Each structure stands twice: as C-alpha cells, then as structure tokens.
Amino acid sequence: MTVMKRQFYKNHKPNGDEYMFHLARDTESGEVFVIRQADFVVDGGSEKAMTLYEFLAGGGNRQNALLQLIGSLVPEAAPH
C-alpha cells in the first residue's frame, strides 16, 4: 500500500508536543482519509488514521483547515 499525504494543519502545544494532520489517499484502493500524527517529546510519537466522516464530525480549527484545503481544489468559475 502506498499512501500519498498532504499536511493541512499543525498544532504546537506549550510542552513541545506537536500534532500534524494530513489528508491522505491510498494509491491502490483510492481510499481518502485523514492521518493524525503526534510527536510527543516525552513518549515518542503516534499515528492514527480516520475516515473523513469521523474527522469532520468533530468541528473546530482542524476541520476548518481541511475544508479550506478541499475548497482550494475546486477552480473558481470564470466570470460570464
């Protein structure tokens, strides 16, 4: 399985932890999903994949960032 990713949100915590969110696509199956990658200073890192539905159901800044990315993929119509 080959996964292509594009980061759309990054959050820095005061303790040095970082959370990065990527829009991802499995190039073999065509499945599109979100990957949350966490870099924990003390405990190492972790990665979690979730469906777009699961991710967008949460609401908030991360979800708005993904919606902006999706909106940027649609070209603006030429004025008539």
Q: Which of 16, 54, 17 is nearest to 35 (CA)?
A: 54
Check residue 41 and give its pLDDT: 59
Check residue 76 and give its pLDDT: 77
pTM of the model: 0.79
CA distance 34 to 60: 15
**Which H or E run contains 65?**
helix 61-72
Q: What is the pLDDT of residues 32-77, one digit of tens each?
A: 999 999 886 555 678 899 999 999 998 889 999 999 999 888 877 7
Token readout for 69 is 């990315």
Rounded to whole angstroms, the maximal C-alpha distance in the chain is 57
Check residue 63 and give its pLDDT: 93
